[in-house]
Structure 1
């Protein structure tokens, strides 16, 4: 085109100085026109999803945004980069940073971010958070909402710092108190035969801390380093009473019974002959479900006796003592109530 224009001017104008100047001016105008045409571009600026189309002659993304009056904050994201050249039909995308609040225990941290998700934000803001003493450990720390939650303005994010520690503790092992019956010791009395001593064990705990506060504590292992020594205490089981004739008698238990008397000889339920011996051992009839046959007893006001006999009317806490005559049975003994009957020994014990 330029060559054709030169030929046209040469053929139609003289070659004088004025003609040469004119040719130069025209040539310059043509070159400028071509350059401007090449610099003219139609581009799209998209801010948070909203698009506007512009015609520009600027070369870089930064120049385009400056001429359009688009200001950027430090955390805004721009694609392509500010120093990138723009071409016809390009789209410049801008995502504005929004404010989010990160809560860690009693600490509240405000952040500006243009990242898509919480996970992206934590990665990008890692260094800034570290400067404030916060480090997120993936797979250990707890965070809510979830990492894949989309970032939105004024979102509150709760971060719980979790720390797991192993702690060794020495703990006492309590001793047991072992009670032993001693028939040689008076009932109601106790005697320490061996003092107790606590043992010791080493326990390894797994302790979970959340935001620096103990959350849980679990025993992982335990080892006894010193066995405890049990305390041994003897408890007296011997019961003693003084009979009317001044004897001190040991007894197993005492019953309070209704008592009648019988006489007439014969043979007892155990095959013996009933006897009445005030200075020895007499015979009484009992309910075997209450006092086993063959037991040695002491009946208050009667003396020692063997539970050798039974009777149809002897049911429950009733005894029938043997005497030598019917008159003694009815006149002297009769029927008594709340008579103490001491079990001195059970069958096989005497």
Structure 2
């Protein structure tokens, strides 16, 4: 038995030694890990690795490097704890030039660096589009990574401006754009040969003849322009100012441009104006005895009248010089519209849930309902539950538009029963009837119904709007 205990003791000791050895190895392995930062296209990532080289560290980070990518430090550089590795992925960039298009795979991001990688240079005067956006001298400020560059190289053009001549470099498509891009101001009236809109391709020189300042007073405006000599008529033609009809100028069209450089155009208008405006007609109503109530008939359609005013006017520069008032008159008198409304009352009978009734009028109305506590009057108020006619509100009393239906009018409302007009409401107007209830038997109404007015009719309005 003692031998067995001895053997078990040795086994426990051996197991403990192995466990301690493994723990020590794990600690040593963990302590040997290097913590590095990998920056890929500006995005950084923390990586823990046991690799010995930059390439191994990137492999542990799950990153593959292509030959066109930019890597710093180099892939075979020894890996150190705390090292920062920068990887810039290469991308394809389309480069367009007048001679054609080409693709470039490069890790460069700045437009000028991309051009340099393609063996191209950006000179002053060149035109460059970055992803479709035109760029000039500010191209160095572009921080984005473009996918398309378009380069148009500049060319030399001789410019003669009076007694001064010089060369300018430009890639502009037209004469005008070349001068504008170079900061050469061409004033209105200056003569440019070839013209500002002439294509720059195929020409080697531009000639500018400067004009003198000219002031044209026309249409209440003062136009500051320029002219290269000639007559008043020539200057106006160059400025696009046309004379119409009786217009005239000071000086006259045949005179030379005055020393003070001011030309006045006087606009002359002579016309006869006839102004017409409609005269409204009135609408009147008249009863028709043989037409049943609630029906209408157009007796006369009516017609607008016409009021005419004729004036002869002569204006110079908008100022009236001569006026002949030829008067105004009623060219056509208005004719009133006459609407006939029925006054014939024909009693009729109808069977209802409450038995047969005889009525003299049936009107479509919008029905709502209310009760004492729903009438908007506080329960403690003196007039709580009292109608405008002085009666206590209960089922059978209704609110109406009193201008159409007088108090005491008896009606029948299908689904409600017999009703008496006994109340009014601030919003109850026209074809609106508010059905009264007690609080304990209230039924909500929101619908159109046909209201039957029982005979006789005590002074109802003949026309319901």
Q: Fold-level match, TM-score > 0.5?
A: no
Which protein is bigger by CA-based radius of gyration? 1
**TM-score, normalised with respect to structure 2:** 0.27
TM-score scaled by length of structure 1: 0.33
Structure number with higher relative contact order (C-alpha < 8 Å, ≥ 6 residues apart): 1
